A = this chain, B = another copy of it.
Amino acid sequence: MVKGPVVPTRGVLRPLGVDEVRLTPGFWGDRQELNASVILGHCREWMTRTGWIGNFRVAAEGRPPSELNGREFADSEVYKLLEGLAWESARAGKDIGGLEEITGLVAAAQEPDGYLNTRFGPHGPGHRYRDLEWGHELYCYGHLIQAAVARARTHGEDELTGVARRAADHVYREFGPDGRAGVCGHPEIEMALVELSRLTGDDRYLEQARLFVERRGKPALADIEFGRTYFQDDVPVRQARVMRGHAVRALYLASGAVDVAVETGDDELLQAVIAQWERTVAARTYITGGMGSRYSDESFGEDHELPPEHAYSETCAAVASVMLAWRLLLATGEPRYADLAERTLFNVVAASPATDGRAFFYVNTLQQRVLGPPRVEGQWPWGRPPVGRRAPWLAVSCCPANLGRTLASLSAYVATADDDGVQLHQLTSCAIETALSAGRVGLRVETGYPWSGAVTVRVVEAPGGPWRISLRVPAWAGGASVSYGETRQAADPGLVTIERDWRPGEELRLDLPMRPRWSHPDPRIDAVRGCVAVERGPLVYCAESPDARLDSLGVDPATPPAETTAADLGSAVTLTVNARETRPKETPWPYGTEPSPPAGEPEPLTLIPYHLWGNRGPATMRVWLPDIS
């Protein structure tokens, strides 16, 4: 059994589990360690303090609803934490504190018929599923089931698996072929049910997921102020042309639809999601990989509506986008999905947590004009309006635990195998051990990526005879090369595969060109017209207020950015570009018959990796820089 979050029964590539790929020290390995040592505990502490974990006790003991805490989806946060603890227990090789205790609380709150929700459950059956649009009950089951699957795959079935099965059976009775034709306002349960079906072999769960996917958009839910687009109930999944509405919901639904399509062999459905993904990437995705441009309803905007200012780009949408990309990669084998996942991981997922792991961005704006008011001790920041700093916790706190479970299972998103070889999709230091049809293979990947462009893959175990090692050359990496033995050859973007009789001790080395580059936006992205951004390798860069006053700077892309380092940013590569001040006159009215003022003298401007902004104190920031050339 593959010990990973996504284990399709068919597809081009076979995922490698968390026991087959282990991250070693490096960009992602270090973050996984931080997750283990800080983030998961931080989440547990806050969920205890806020009473979200305690809600299960309130429900189990039948205490009044006035004793419940948090929002209607608070249960799901606890489940995400459980999932993170399950993955981390597998990684650590021992159960992480809290896992068993919280599982016990959850189990105690489940009702005899399988229903489980602290918010609606204690009020009796008449309160169940009364508000599918906003109640999040099925959404919460989704996270429960994903946690249970993680636990079962890494530890074996236990109490949590039982709880999840009973809940899923209950859902099948209530919403199955003979039940009510409803769906959840927040998709999530679809992919969870497919995974439970994969785990247990019980086809009812797959059928239930299929029903949830197919009912959507016919429509299945009531209209709401944001319109049914908000929860993707405007158009059936297989007829939709693009991702739209609430970004996390859209991406979770698409992930579930891919799972259903793969398991049922429904190529039409798979192709529909692929087409939606293509247009979404081409017209509705930030340069960081972030998705969702609108604040008002956490939604995708229209094509090319990608304002950097007040950009939403929710952390959970980035997690969801990586989940979707991974599913599409497994189904098709195409490296473009890993390309987007890489961009999103480095520039949104890595940007959300502070370097100390104790504060998080909920939204990942691309421009921060001003600092918000100072943090008040004891007050939870709501955290959504960007204020130039991360928040230790949020009233709507979906993101920290979503990060926690993602980082804990991150090694499962790195590499795959097929009969003939291993494919490394994310270029990160790790150890890979798995079995091919020819026998067991072992690899050690070592790299300073993304700071360095050299990735070395050393063979430590090999079956004898020819087999293949494949490495993804990112789409931005024109001019890359691979070398092994005495051979050195150009490697175009895509998957470069070297088949030979790889022997222990041999190395395959990938060299990526890490020259910083200016990036220009499609001119239809009106909000960044006349601007340029800087990228280096997979990283997007930004200017931040500790280094410059940002409201009237322009840059000249004629000169290439120069590499530097900053004492206060550790091993990060920083950059310097030529900037010029273009401070306009202060006038009583900001529109006039004269074009912009001329620019001042050139001065150097430091750029830092976007994912590190806001770690040197509250800051203003911008990714897109006015082009004054």
A interface with B by C-beta (< 8 Å): 223, 225-227, 234, 278, 281-283, 285, 287, 294-296, 301-305, 307-310, 336, 367, 369-370, 373, 379, 382, 385, 395, 475, 517-527, 529-531, 533, 551-552, 582, 584, 586-597, 624, 626
Contact = CB atoms under 8 A, between A and B. Distances in A.
Given A309-B526, A370-B302, A529-B531, A589 B552 contact: no
A569 to B, nearest CB: 24
Contact of A520 (B523, B531, B551, B592): B592
Contact of A597 (B285, B308, B373, B523): B523
A518 B594 CA distance: 9
Contacts of A305: 309-310, 369
A282 B518 contact: no
Contacts of A552: 523-524
24 contacts: A234-B373, A281-B588, A281-B589, A282-B590, A285-B590, A295-B296, A296-B385, A302-B369, A303-B369, A303-B370, A304-B369, A304-B551, A304-B590, A307-B310, A309-B526, A517-B593, A520-B593, A520-B594, A521-B591, A522-B590, A523-B597, A526-B527, A529-B626, A530-B530
Given A287-B591, A336-B588, A522-B590, A527 B309 contact: yes
Contact of A395 (B225, B295, B367): B225
A624 B529 CA distance: 12
Nearest to A526: B309
B282 A294 contact: no
B385 A227 contact: yes
A618 B372 CA distance: 39
What 6 A-B pairs come out closest when comparing CB atoms? Answer: A530-B530, A522-B590, A295-B296, A529-B530, A523-B596, A302-B369
A438 to B, nearest CB: 36
Contacts of A530: 529-530
Contacts of A626: 523, 526, 529
Contacts of A278: 588
Best-buried of A223, A282, A367, A591 by chain B (most CB within 10 Å):
A591
A309 to B, nearest CB: 6
Contact of A586 (B282, B594, B597): B282
A336 B296 CA distance: 34
Given A281-B589, A369-B305, A517-B593, A310 B294 contact: yes
A529 B590 CA distance: 13
Nearest to A530: B530
A296 B285 CA distance: 20
Contacts of A283: 590
Contacts of A595: 520
Contacts of A226: 385
Given A303-B369, A522-B584, A523-B597, 7 more contacts: A234-B373, A282-B587, A304-B590, A517-B593, A519-B592, A520-B591, A529-B529
A525 B593 contact: no
A520 B294 contact: no
Nearest to A540: B591
A310 B301 contact: yes
A296 B307 CA distance: 14
A223 to B, nearest CB: 7
Nearest to A370: B302
A227 B519 CA distance: 37
Nearest to A518: B593
Contacts of A524: 551-552, 584, 590
A203 B295 CA distance: 44
Best-buried of A278, A285, A590 by chain B (most CB within 10 Å):
A590
